[in-house]
Structure 1
Amino acid sequence: MENVRADFTSGRSMEPALEGADALYLNLAGVGDPETAVQLVGAAAALGVRRIVMLSSYAVTDTALDEENILLKMHAMVERVVRDSGLEWTLVRSGGLAANTLPWAEPIRATGVVRGPNASVAQALVHEADIAAVSTQALLDASGTHQGTVYRLTGPESLTPVHRAHFSSKDPRRHPPRRLGESMTAAAPSGAGTSPRRRTALTNVRVFDGRELRAPGTVVIDGDRIGTGPSRAREIDGGGAVLPPGLIDAHVHLSSADNLRQLCEHGVTTALDMAAWPTDLVDSLRNVPGLTDIRSAGTLAISADGIHATMEGIPKDSIVTGPADAERFVAARVAEGSDYNKIVAESPGSGGLDQATLNALVAAARTRSWTQD
């Protein structure tokens, strides 16, 4: 193994660093900027490098949405250059990196407290060793197995920063996790004490109480609680505007992140999806930062003889053949991560599920502490 130093900011040719190489591992964060990455890809092609493996972002969608976020736009642009380079290519789209949690070590040791933003946003962080294992397989592959393939990597479990701080502590039993809204103050058990939750007071705002629009007053957000006592709170003047609650849309059918954006623009902070598939689509719409939160039924339960069975695109797995098939259907919904069951009971004589099957579906769901719509 020969180490070659390359300074991508020097303005010098990149070709000496690539001479003799037959594969290139491209990390946009390591290169510094997309323009330099594009130059590096061009130099690799000119020198006869055979394949490129690029570490990209899990959030890239290959849709117009990529143009609306600067980080996604950069990754998507370099991905296109890699695809069009004429070389063999593999894209490794990784979720959040577990190594980004390492800076927490010092504050945990020093004060026992970790502070940071987006405490309620859950991520399934990926360990760098897993990224390395996948990337190495693609880099060393001469058979073409990974050619033209996009791999999406996530960690084994989705956790919020508060839970990660909790599990990073020396004795997590002493400090159970707490949900602290969008600002995070998570205590580790170093004995150094804890910091109070950040409180925000929205002053001079009008609230509709269900009967009337009240005169301007103060609303205090204290972690996951709402009150009126502004003591020791950071104040934001609402200028007499109306402060609406987060609305819940109890019946939607989701097909893309555009649906979440439209809901969010209309003040809907939670949406209950009443049938969407495939599972990958539903998973991609969960826990999207800045957009409406969702719960989903996933695949719905229908009869083979009802009108829903004639609709284009209905999954075959939707059909429940009778009471004995109810447990199979519910177990499949649990396995795919659905939050509840959507059961279609059509009007009598319309070929829908019979009463015995409906009862069996409800009973199977209840054994799993589920609800039905």
Structure 2
Amino acid sequence: MADVLMTQAMRWFGPRDPVPLAHIRQAGATHVVTALHHIPNGMVWPREEIAAQRAMIERAGLGWTTVESVPVHEAIKTAGAERDRLIDQYITTLRHLAAEGITIVTYNFMPLLDWTRTDLAWELPDGARALRFELDAVAAYDLHLLRRPGAEADYAPDTIERAARRFAAMDDEAKLRLERTIIAGLPGSEESFTSAQFLDAIHDYADTGPDQLRANHHAFMAAICPVAEELGIRMVVHPDDPPFPIFGLPRVVSTEADVTALFEAVPSTANGLCFCTGSFGVRADNDLPGMVRRLGERIGFLHLRSVQREPDGAFHEAAHLEGSGDLTAVMAEVVALQRREGRSIVMRPDHGHQMIDDLTKVTNPGYSLLGRMRGLAELRGLERGLAFMGAK
């Protein structure tokens, strides 16, 4: 019997994306994952707008079955007064998506900030540019620009010392660039802040520690999953990025134990995982191949990328088959999973390098075309090679 291969997709940010649908198709993808990014958090996605986006994608010769993402409003995460109304509106959006053929809906439960980086154009030895996260830069912003009360308690003394030296060497332009990189919103992020707004928003989480945030997450899924099951939608949670607390905010989807607890609390088949090898791979204690093997039945969507872990809590986006994340071993487990369950999992290459002609273009950080096309080609070849070897 022929192996089932992954469904190859790329992320598309809608009509304003610098990478058009025609280029995504030429890069080798058969599908896109996308969202209605212009609709504010908590608002219902109108069915007619979903249908219009679907028609645009299909006219380009591509498919759309996976949404990334339907944002979860902060009042749901903190169990605020508007939680029940916002959950009802979220469910209405799910009904509209299901009516238009969507079967996978991605979401995350990170407080305030989505994925976070401190450098959007870090130059690699070959001249390409990568996204990078540096804890010392986060500490410099937190301690000296944001001036979050009590922030010193969250950093080791040597980190505080390095952050102070770093801040002292920064001019006004560098300070502004760091501030905007951290809080102004990266592609796909759910919110954008000024520093004053961010500080106020952090205060709203004063009574929401990790245990409470985890309980609120479980309650949200307990409310959503029965409807998702009825609609034929699988909800897939994206892990925290980076997978540890920042700015004093808790994070509860960072490890295998975190997601196992979620699945035990809400055992519904609609409660699934977006397995992001880059986010989980920042932590050396996350066994990526083992997680695919143990959690495979819950994985509904794959983000395949690798990070290179560095000293002192830093990391950068490596080439897809390099870095700290052993994507070959991960892919071997994905091939075995698809063969075992007889299903194709939607996959997208994630956070490609800015390279070659894209170095001269305006692109969304992490989402230029050529770096992702390189990653898609490498991942497709790796999958087919492993499938062939396994069939012999």
If the TM-score is normalised by the length of the shorter chain, which range does it land in? under 0.3
| Higher relative contact order structure (alpha carbons within 8 Å, sequence separation ≥ 6) | 2
Higher strand share: 1
What is the TM-score when the length of structure 1 is the normalising length? 0.26
User: Which is higher, the Rg of structure 1 or of structure 2?
Assistant: 1
